[in-house]
Amino acid sequence: MRAAWIVYRKELVEILRDRRTLIAIGFSALATPIVLSIVTQVSTRTATQVYTLGYTGTIPTGLDLLLTSTGLKLERVDDPAAAAKRQVDLAVAFLPGEIDEYYDPTRQSAQIADVRLQVILGNYNAAKAAAALHAKGVDPAILTPLKVVPHPLSSPAAAAQNTFLSFFLPYILITMILTGGFSAALDSSAGERERKTLESLLLTPAPRSRVLLGKIAAVTTISLVAAIAAIASMFIALSQVSLPSEAGISSHLAINPVAVPVMVMVALLIAVSFSSVTLALGTLARTFRQGQAYVTPLYFITIFPASIILFIPDFNPGLAYYLIPILNAVLVLREAIVHNAVDWAALGVTTFSLVATGLISWLAALRLFTREALLTRS
């Protein structure tokens, strides 16, 4: 194993002196807080934004107060249909016993204003009906024959926190592992051929399997460093965001204790297996650029299904789905974050899948690394 250690140390030194890799790691550390900051600002702005409601006719008594207190600014218009296209976000015509609503569904502001208007009108109608019933001596409870009493099993704040983490954490972790080691893996494989050092390296008595092992270990290390940098910066950024809790005491986003070891294990498995995959593809390439052409599609093929799943919160797949690399990592991680529990069968299949992927790739890389064509084709 001495040869593997020698190669590992040398690769790390070279990688850490490579501007491309340092930029990738630095970018991953900076990008996460920046993205989160933008997302938070956009969300806050969307929630507090005042939208303009154009109207004609006479506003029912009391409704104007309700509308303005819910972030809808009233503005009298001549033609509500025309005004709803550009002049205002939403327009209504108050007619006797009816409200005609005009809005353009392609405008996000119109959609949000419409939701607010519907909520207010629902409450207004319910209050009016209740008052009318009360005036006639009828219990307004007749309007709600089945009263729903909610008993949430976790606090709304915790639920929101888990939803947020289950969306961002797997995505950031996996993206940074795949992209963090990307440049290092190609430099370590295709780069050897491009700068004509491969022949000298293979001339040494060091077994090729050990040389490859050293390279994979170095790329894995860098992938994990990039992922840790991204996750750490994410938590630092989130620690600045206060969340309201039931008792009125603010809290910060925190990952549950079960998710931490699962995250570490999944990160390690992905880093090792995909370092092998990238090195195998890089070994096929004669230049760094050619390596990029081979590896980039792989990135999209693996990350795409995982990204889609993130948008389906209640996706409960069978065990067979856990055989798909990356997708399985996202599912296992999400389970641990949202439910604070480990599905051992799913984790077992995921581990098998990622280990098998890494092993097959390692054998492929070794086979490529020992082919005579590696030298003669260049």
Partner 1 sequence: MTDAAVTVERLQKTLGKKEVLHGISFIAGKGEIFGLLGPNGAGKTTTLRLICTLLAPDAGSINVLGFDTRTAPSEVRRRVGVVTAEIGVYPRLTARENIAYFARLSEVIDGDVRPRVEAVLDRLDMREFAGQRAESLSSGQKQKVAIARAIVHDPAVLMFDEPTSNLDVLASKEIRDFMVESKNRGKSVIFSTHVLHDAERLCDRVTIIHEGRVVATGSTAEVRGAHRDLEQSFLNLVQVS
Residues forming contacts to partner 1 in the complex (CB under 8 A) are 3, 6-7, 10, 13-14, 17-18, 195-206, 372, 375-376
Which lies closer to partner 1 via its Cβ, residue 327 or residue 374?
A: 374
Give the DSSP H or E segment for 56.
Answer: strand 51-57
Give residue 157's region: left, alpha or beta (phi > 0; psi -120 to 50): alpha
Give the DSSP H or E segment for 55.
Answer: strand 51-57
- Smallest gap from Cβ 172 to partner 1, in A, equals 29
Which lies closer to partner 1 via its Cβ, residue 66 or residue 206?
A: 206
Which lies closer to partner 1 via its Cβ, residue 18 or residue 64?
A: 18
Which lies closer to partner 1 via its Cβ, residue 198 or residue 277?
A: 198
- Smallest gap from Cβ 188 to partner 1, in A, equals 11
DSSP string computed for 134-155: HHTT--GGGG-SS------SS-
Which lies closer to partner 1 via its Cβ, residue 20 or residue 107?
A: 20
- Smallest gap from Cβ 20 to partner 1, in A, equals 11
Alpha-carbon span 358 to 346, nearest angstrom: 18
Query: Is residue 327 a contact partner of residue 305, using CB atoms and an 8 Å limit?
Result: yes
- Smallest gap from Cβ 6 to partner 1, in A, equals 5
Which lies closer to partner 1 via its Cβ, residue 108 or residue 204?
A: 204
- Smallest gap from Cβ 366 to partner 1, in A, equals 16
Nearest to 332 by CA among 354, 360, 300: 354
Residues paired with 75 in a beta bridge: 54
Which lies closer to partner 1 via its Cβ, residue 14 or residue 64?
A: 14
Give residue 75's region: left, alpha or beta (phi > 0; psi -120 to 50): beta
Query: Is residue 291 a contact partner of residue 189, using CB atoms and an 8 Å limit?
Result: yes
Contacts of 145 (CB under 8 A, 6+ apart): none
- Smallest gap from Cβ 13 to partner 1, in A, equals 7
- Smallest gap from Cβ 23 to partner 1, in A, equals 15
